[in-house]
Structure 1
Amino acid sequence: MNKSAVTLALLSAFSPALNAALDTNKENKNTTEIITVVGSPITFIERESITPITNNQADFSDQLDTLPGVAISRNGPVTALIQYRGLFGERIGVSIDGVDINGAGPNAMDSPLSHVMPEIGMTATLYRGIVPVNAGVQTLGGKLDIKTMASTLFAMDEGVYAHINGSFISPGNGQQYQGNGLYRTDDSFISGAFIHQQRENQESGSGDDIPNSHYQRNGAKIRAGYQIDRHQFDVSYQTLNTNESGTPALAMDINFIDAAWYRLSYQFDHTDEKYISINLFGNSNQHIMDNFSQRMLMMPTMARQNETDAIAQGIDLTYVQPWQSGELQLGFNFQHNRNNSVITNPNSAMFFINNFTNVERDTASVFAQWEHSTTQYQTTLGVRYSQIDMDAGLVGSSMAMMNDAVASLANNFNGAKRGKTYHMVDLAANSIFYFSKQIDIVVGASQKNRAPTYYERFTWLPLGITGGMADGFNYIGDLNLHHETARKLEFGIDYHNDDWTMSPRLFYQDIQDYIAGAPSTNVAANAVSTMMSGRTPFQWANTDAVIKGADITITGQLSEDITVQSVATIQHGNRDDIDDALFRIAPEQLTTHVQWHSTFYDAPISLQLTSEINGSQNHVSELQSEKPTAGYGLIHLSALWQLTPKLQITAKVNNAFDKEYAAHTAGINRVMNTTLPVGERVPNAGREWQLSISYHL
């Protein structure tokens, strides 16, 4: 594993059980300590685990947005998209327990983060800077890997572990209940988990309801593992059901999402340094969204309901062995995706749009990666070749009988060659030089690729389908799109002594054939879009872009009981084909945590003050009518009290001074007849109180 990853303990609902596992592992070669790895394989900075009882967002995205380079682009309470160094959406790879989720919604209502559910020992690993090729296919913008290692569960002591917790958030009557259980024997384990989340609308700092910020979700997961000699088996199944939930930045809200995924893993350890692992996985999503059940509709003829579904099946195979005084990894990946979408009007039985029909995407990829370490340096070199095949079935609409422009668009799409194959080569090189006992130097370079998404190629009718970009424009696809190629340079220094660590990074990324919207010249599409929205649509096109910036992490020990951690990020993104900014890029941010450990009534207590400062964003996309945003500062407070070894109480106050603000990465309101005008940026929540009670049986 690339040691320049930034590893964060995301969820540890079983803290006593997990601590037992950690103590066991410390005696072994492979440690699973909760650590952050910043730039150096020998510099480990301990930090508090971030548990699910501290989240105030249903999809746990708020537990990630303080990592260097990370921001959250949000279109609703369960639709978070990770933005990393100015890139977001499909350009950021996200896997859940080794499963690459194929969302059913073309606007990312069921984004990968919405599939996260707590499990013992779960961690989130965000690769900082140059992403190694073994991290996955199409990691042009970064990679987030959320999972629980089977080795963590197999390392636990025999016995039964159980945990329950409840969290309550106000205003909005937010509630979250979850439970976990695990039974561990000498050679096997079985675990289960459930979660229930619900909330009414949030309130802004002005006391107004945030439109369509409600949600309701239920989920369950079961997992089992067995090991004998050098063989290890691990199987998981998860189901997560999202009921009525709002997405104010999109044209529709979530009626329901029924999502399930599964994984079967096998590993054979030939020796301690040579092994082979195989993962079989898949997921299935059914999703209905509409524009009338949770928001006002001007007239019945404008009612729309979109029924979508998606499936994915895949296999990953990895072989590891020593080679040339280092470690060689060879791997193969294959994944098949299929998507469908049909738009109807419940008030008109005749109306339909066959939006996406049997859209298929097959990805086959092989890679080789070599790591070599000495007392002076560590180097990782890798190459990956990927072939992506895309195709789509015939489309149509009832509107074609009455509108020549719609008929022309459908006929042209159906008569075109829709299938296409993309060939891509990824390269990654990263080195850490141990300049002195306190200073390490990090340098890296990469070439990464991304093929167009299905909606970028196959959107034949101008609709507001943007994969969650949500700029309010209609878009049509382009069957002739080229794949993106990004070339990136990274330079950093890690300084560490007994009490302090600083880790700055500089990065520069040039993206050839960057896929972005350009004003459409398609006469038929322009006529249809103007009729429906009064605006000329965009068409996905290949352009060029440059993103550059810096981020830094600082962690220190002010005293025996007080620690401090700061993360600062700045990035700047521009299109090269025209003089314009990239859309929805997060401004500069500085987040600082100060934590004090003490005792209260002879029980351990941890108090934390968080300062969050965001700059203004005036570098905006004029082409996409993006508005500047003002800067703001926030204070958050929290206290964790370990009342007994089994009972833990957590209290939080977010936005303690009830600041009225809207993040630049927030979406634009599209819900009519609310206190927030259509076209205004959706505000973030004002002051929120949260109380969590956690009990370990």
Structure 2
Amino acid sequence: MTITRLLRASLLAGCTLAAAPPALAEHAATPATREDALTDTIIVTAQRRETIASDAVAAPRQIALPADAAAIAARVAGGDIFGNGALSGQLSYRGLAGERVLGRVNGQRFATGGPNAMDPPLHYAPSILVERIDIARGVAPVAEGPSLGGAINAQLVQAQFSDSASLTPQVRMASQYRSVDDSYAVGGLAALASERWRFGLIASREQGEDYRFPGGTAVGTSFERNLYGVHAGFQTGAGELFVEYRRSETDPSGNPPFALDMVYFNTDFVQGGFRGQITEDLGLTLRLGHVAVRHLMDNQTLRQPAAAPMQARATFADADTVTAEAALRFGGSRAYVEVGADAELTDRFVTITNPTNPAFFIQSQPNVRAERMGAYLQWRGQLGAAQFELGGRIDRTAQSAGIPQLGAAVPMGPRGLAAGFIASGREADDTTVDAVARVWIEGGAFVPRLTLARKTRVPSVLERFAWLPTEASFGLADGNIYVGNQALKPEVAWIAEAGFDFANDWLTLRPTLYYRRVDDFIQGTPFDATPGVINSPVEMVANMNGDPTPLMFRNTDAELYGADLDFVVRPLTNLELAGTASIVRGQRRDIVDDLYRIPPANLRLSATWATGDLSLGAELFAAADQNRVSLTNSELPGDGYATLGLFARYAFAEGLAIEAGVENLLDEQYAPHLAGRSRVAASDVPLLERLPGPGRGVWARLTAQF
């Protein structure tokens, strides 16, 4: 069925903008760290916040909870998702993804463990436990740390202080079943809290089989993950001392776009500190954190068929991150000066082995370290009717790599590359400067806004120190082999965006136009001037690994521009129509080519009818063709598609509700343009074809809070 026919058949379909389905929370707290006008907030809650500055879902909920929280974040205007597996999706925001978008969980930033980003930040935020997702609108404030694009933070459900002097219980539970992959998810919070103390336990369990699509079964897409943790807080005056610990355990889970699948991710999170007011006009934030990732991936446990003994691989990866933050805020919430400093120390180690041959091992990332220290100043004020936020930050980053060790069975080609890497500098230092200026005018239903910024990103340790040609590319999953480049310079983006927020009793409208000019944009480019001619050691090793045309990370020039909007229309008391629309264009400025993995134009619409305890609705999502693709990365065009879903919600009592729906009602066969390409031979998805979207299925979810 064509998009036009489906649109015509679905006039009442729509989407509650930037919506997420419910998990555990019935009430979600408003972010207090910055102005609502600067934040898109996806709230997993049954209550609607009437604000033009954040995206909040209204009951009923539109979709089955995806295991991957990135699929929730992707519903924001300007959002999309790199589909690299059930637990490995990356948010694409206004054409930028990966390390260009700052990702955090519970406000804590950290280095992912997988060299190919099998565990991007939202991997550690099970949707069943997510309370809200905050996305900085377009540009992250300098107080949040360095990032080239926006910033995203997934807040997991936690105990809340109560109004009682004695400890009282708080319980939240949610469970879901989804037929298309025979998956289930269950999670919850058990807590005790008073006006001074709060103690909470959280836990979740998710498991799913290979999902079905109209052409068969996508083999190698099963998943399994557990998370549990404890947290506590003590409220003193207007501030809080807090501490939390979580353990995330991902068991064998498929990653069809990659050469290897997850065997495990065992990851520990710990953080603590103070946040709040010391006096009426002086705020203080202190935070210390540590994240330890232990990871194994292979092509034996889940991959069908398993690789032959000579090609068998098991890769072990560790990543440790230590973070520290401190900030003082002088003034109130609408007029203040904030000064702060932060540090982030990471240490990674990746070893490739052959499980059938103990003499074969290669340390592809040997003791790779990055140390960043930064400071910032941010000023929030007012000139007449104009509100403004001005900020600047400076960061110093030092990176280094150790000496790789290789087993006796490793052939001479990699040995020669290792010797050359050992003889190289294996160190880099960068100083970067960011600046952000936001202006908006309050005074009624119409709020115009303007943002100008200079943002930077230091090359990742993978882009700099990947001495061995492999497919590791932080999740691009394009089948190309990449090699690093120690001569890389930091990316520098010059950004301008303008728009307005309009809200009254029956209409909310928030369009934005933006332009981002990126100097020294890091892109995979042909290794030398004779692609396909194997005349260098790198090309010889790459050819041994199946790709005679490797790419090297180099500085190029790029630009991204586009528009997005979200809206809500309430023509009747019981009826709400809502939606988002996004379009982005990304292209190289140094050569005639398009940027890789730029999402197509898309539209999301919904209609929701609610009366009493019952709500009913429909949602339509449509994506256009994508013909502007990267020749450098051998990207193929993508076809447009549209899907339709139905949903319903019934509240039995306060805090207890059941929700259900049908996804892909018309059983449309489609493949999202940003989906990765399958590497699983024993699958109904042909080799190197994009992973299709799930077929028709039903889902049901039960939520409770008391």
Taking structure 2 as the reference length, the TM-score comes to 0.90
Contact 1:122 1:147 (8 Å CA) reproduced: yes
Letter in 2 for 1:498: D
Q: Which residue of 2 aligns with 1:546?
A: 559
Give how far 1:512 is off. Answer: 0.4
**Counterparts of 1:325 and 1:649, CA distance in 2:** 40
Amino acid at match of 1:613: A
Task: Spell out the pairing of 1:148-227 with structure 2 (5 A cutoff).
Answer: 153-154=160-161, 159-206=168-215, 208-227=216-235
| 3-state SS, counterpart of residue 535 of structure 1 | coil
Match of 2:450 among 443, 447, 460: 443
CA distance in 2, matches of 1:659, 1:379: 47
Q: Within 2, Cα distance between the matches of 1:44 and 1:314? A: 30
Shift in Å, 1:613? 1.0
- The correspondence for 1:537, drawn from 550, 555, 568, is 550
Tell me if the contact between 2:624 and 2:639 (Cα under 8 Å) persists in the aligned partners: yes
Hey, what does 1:524 align to over in structure 2?
537
Distance 1:155 1:544, change over 3 A: farther
Q: Secondary structure at the match of 2:269?
A: strand
1:247-286 paired onto structure 2 within 5 Å: 247-267=255-275, 269-286=277-294
Letter in 1 for 2:520: D
> Which residue does 2:487 correspond to in 1?
480
Structure ranking higher on relative contact order (CA contacts 8 Å, 6+ apart): 2
- Whether contact under 8 Å (1:194, 1:219) holds in the other structure is yes
Given that 2:52 and 2:502 are in contact with CA atoms closer than 8 Å, whether structure 1 keeps it comes out as: no
- Structure 1 residues 338 and 191: CA distance shift in structure 2, 3 A: same
Q: 1:373 to 1:554 in 2, by over 3 A?
A: same
Q: What does residue range 169-568 of structure 1 map to in structure 2 within 5 Å?
A: 169-206=178-215, 208-267=216-275, 269-295=277-303, 296-322=305-331, 326-373=335-382, 376-398=385-407, 402-403=411-412, 405-434=413-442, 437-521=444-528, 523-568=536-581
Aligned equivalents of 2:288 and 2:441: distance in 1?
37
Q: Distance in 1 between matches of 2:354 and 2:512?
A: 51
Alpha-carbon separation, structure 2, partners of 1:368 and 1:51: 42
Question: Bigger CA drift: 7-16 or 380-389?
Answer: 7-16
Aligned-partner Cα distance in 1 for 2:244–2:112: 19
Partner Cα separation in structure 1 for residue 23 and residue 644 of structure 2 = 26
Residue 119 of structure 1 and its aligned partner are, at CA, apart by 8.5
Choose 177-186 or 503-512, whichever is displaced more. Answer: 177-186
How many angstroms does 1:649 deviate by?
0.7
State the shift of 1:596 in Å: 1.1
User: Does the 8 Å CA contact 1:124/1:144 hold for their aligned counterparts?
Assistant: yes
**Which string of whole-angstrom CA distances, capped at 9 and with x for unpartnered residues, describes residues 271-293 of structure 1?**
23311110011101100000122
- Structure 1 residues 284 and 55, CA, compared in 2 at 3 Å: closer, same or farther? farther
Q: 1:120 to 1:153 in 2, by over 3 A?
A: farther
Q: 1:498-523: CA deviations, max 9, x gaps?
A: 21121111111110000001111381
Corresponding residue pairs, total = 674
Conserved? CA contact 2:17–2:57, under 8 Å: no
Deviation of 1:373 (Å) = 2.8
For residues 469 and 129 of structure 2, what CA distance do their matches in structure 1 show?
Answer: 45
Q: Distance in 1 between matches of 2:522 and 2:503?
A: 40
Q: After TM superposition, give the deviation of residue 8 of structure 1 in Å.
A: 7.1
Give SS of 1:457's match: helix
Worse-superposed segment, 491-500 or 588-597:
491-500
User: Structure 1 residue 13: deviation in Å?
Assistant: 4.4
Q: Distance in 2 between matches of 1:571 and 1:421?
A: 33
Q: Kindly tell me: are residues 118 and 184 of structure 1, through their superposed partners in 2, closer, same or farther at Cα, counting changes over 3 Å?
A: farther
Q: Secondary structure at the match of 1:381?
A: strand
Deviation, structure 1 residue 266: 1.2
Letter in 1 for 2:327: T
* Paired residue secondary structure (1:270): strand
CA shift at 1:155, angstroms? 5.1
Which segment drifts farther, 369-378 or 685-694?
Answer: 369-378
CA distance in 2, matches of 1:173, 1:468: 26
Among residues 608, 614, 637, which one is paired with 1:605 in the alignment?
614
**Counterparts of 1:148 and 1:176, CA distance in 2:** 15
Which residue number in structure 2 is paired with residue 145 of structure 1? 153
User: CA separation of 1:117/1:234 partners in 2, compared to 1, >3 Å: closer, same or farther?
Assistant: farther
Write the distance in 2 (CA, Å) between the matches of 1:35 and 1:128: 6
Contact 1:11 1:119 in 2 (8 A): no
1:629 matched residue in structure 2: 638
Shift of 1:461: 1.1
> Which whole-Å CA distance do the structure 2 matches of 1:69 and 1:502 have between them?
15
- Structure 2 CA distance for partners of 1:36 and 1:402, relative to 1, 3 Å: closer
- 1:659 partner amino acid: E
Q: Distance in 2 between matches of 1:586 and 1:477?
A: 26
Deviations along 1:40-76, whole A, 9 cap, x unmatched? 9974678436899954321222222221111010110
* Contact kept? 1:11, 1:122, Cα under 8 Å: no
1:184-204 per-position Cα deviation (integer Å, ceiling 9, x unaligned): 123101011110100110011
Question: Which secondary structure does the structure 2 equivalent of 1:57 belong to?
Answer: coil
The equivalent residue for 1:574 is 587
Mapped contact 2:61–2:649 kept (Cα < 8 A): no
Query: Secondary structure of 1:406's match?
Result: helix
What is the CA–CA distance in structure 1 between the aligned matches of 2:455 and 2:55, rounded to whole Å?
Answer: 32
Match of 1:48 in 2: 57
Q: CA–CA distance in 2 between the matches of 1:92 and 1:188?
A: 35
Aligned AA for 2:553?
W
Partner of 2:679: 670
**Matches of 2:248 and 2:59, distance apart in 1:** 22
Maintained 8 Å contact 2:336/2:379: yes
Aligned to 1:66: 75
Separation in structure 1 between the aligned mates of residue 54 and residue 88 of structure 2, nearest angstrom: 31
Q: Give unmatched runs, 5+ long, in structure 1.
A: 1-5
User: Residues of 2 paired with 1:325 and 1:142: CA distance?
Assistant: 22
Residues 1:675 and 1:156: Cα distance change in structure 2 (over 3 Å): farther
Of the candidates 86, 105, 122, which is equivalent to residue 113 of structure 1? 122
Q: Determine the C-alpha separation between the residues in 2 that align with 1:168 and 1:502.
A: 34
1:42/1:465 CA distance change after superposition, 3 Å: closer
Moved more, 56-65 or 526-535: 56-65
Query: Is this contact kept in 1: 2:368–2:400, CA < 8 A?
Result: yes
- Going from structure 1 to structure 2, the CA distance change for 1:277 and 1:323 (only over 3 Å counts) comes to closer
TM-superposition CA deviations, 1:538-568 (whole Å, max 9, x none):
1110101010100011112121011121110
Cα deviations by residue, 1:632-677 (Å, 9 ceiling, x for unpaired): 1111111111022243111021111111000001001111132222
- In 2, the alpha carbon distance for the partners of 1:401 and 1:147 equals 45
For residues 624 and 325 of structure 1, what CA distance do their matches in structure 2 show? Answer: 46
Partner of 1:3: none
Shift of 1:694: 2.3
Tell me which of 568, 588, 599 is aligned to 2:601: 588
Shift of the 11–101 alpha-carbon distance from structure 1 to 2, 3 Å rule, reads farther
State whether residues 8 and 49 of structure 1, in contact with CA within 8 Å, keep that contact through their aligned partners in structure 2. Answer: no
CA apart distance, 1:399: 6.8
Preserved CA contact (<8 Å) 1:53 1:692:
no
Aligned-pair CA distance for 1:351: 0.7
Q: Which amino acid aligns with 2:95?
A: G
Write the letter of the residue equivalent to 1:281.
G
Check 1:117–1:156 CA distance in 2 against 1; reply closer, same or farther (3 A cut): farther
